[in-house]
Amino acid sequence: MTDPISAFYQEIATNVQGLLDDSDVNALSRIWLREITPYKYAFNFSWMGRPCIQFPPDMIALQELIWDYRPDVIIETGVAHGGSVIYYASLLELFAIPEAFVIGIDIDIRAHNRELIESHPMFPRLKLVEGSSTAEQTVAEVAALCQGKQKVMLILDSNHTHEHVLRELELYSPFVKQDSYIVVFDTLIEYMPDSFFPDRPWGKGDNPATAVKAFLNQNPRFEVDHALSAKLQISAAPGGFLRCISD
């Protein structure tokens, strides 16, 4: 007799494989994302009172990864309004992972955002680092905070140029060990019209997706979790969920 729980998860795996193989569905998802982007769809959502500026499916996927891996530390570059770091902190609290915390790095944590983050109930699970994510001093401060921690997850969502993201990957990937993940947001830029970013230093051919490709070419410790991207469909990080396959 088939175990009903195993059968349920096998059905999910079959469905995800179908999505992975269905080029029409994937194309339609990209079209939807292209059409919704001018409306700043990601700005519509918040967590515990703070704007996340993320797509809900991505946040649910991260919840699944955090539940399965149970990290000691989550590092995120890019704080903005603080909704995403508060989200990760709340999950660590909800999952009762002892002494686990989130490090939020941003080159400019604006005073009004800092005040609201530091007064938030989840702030005890947070550590804010102000400075460029690629600066030597910033990396040293993060390394000191991670001292003695074995299970680190990394989320990149700051400057989206190829050069910056690739440097972040080079600097912070050593913190990430087998079975953990690096999540690189805004790989979606590669699939959007260049006209969407007229006042930005990034665009098609110069963005997180191109940085991921270059990083993977030189670092066999990581691979793209294509199944995860396929099951999400609506994601700001297609091809940006990188699984660590060896220490």
Please state the pTM of the whole predicted model: 0.96
C-beta of residue 222 within 8 angstroms of C-beta of residue 241: no
- Containing structural domain, residue 79: 4-244
Contacts of 31 (CB under 8 A, 6+ apart): none
- Cβ(209)–Cβ(190) under 8 Å? yes
Per-residue pLDDT of the chain (247 residues; tens, 9 = 90+): 679 999 999 999 999 999 999 999 999 999 999 999 999 999 999 999 999 999 999 999 999 999 999 999 999 999 999 999 999 999 999 999 999 999 999 999 999 999 999 999 999 999 999 999 999 999 999 999 999 999 999 999 999 999 999 999 999 999 999 999 999 999 999 999 988 988 899 999 999 999 999 999 999 999 999 999 999 999 999 999 999 999 9
Helix 4-21 with 23-36: angle, nearest 10 deg? 70
3-state DSSP percent of the chain in helix, strand and coil, to 5: 50, 15, 35
Q: Which CATH number fits the domain that encloses residue 140?
A: 3.40.50.150
Distances in Å between the alpha carbon of 26 and those of 29, 170, 225, 238?
A: 5, 30, 16, 11
How many structural domains comprise the chain? 1
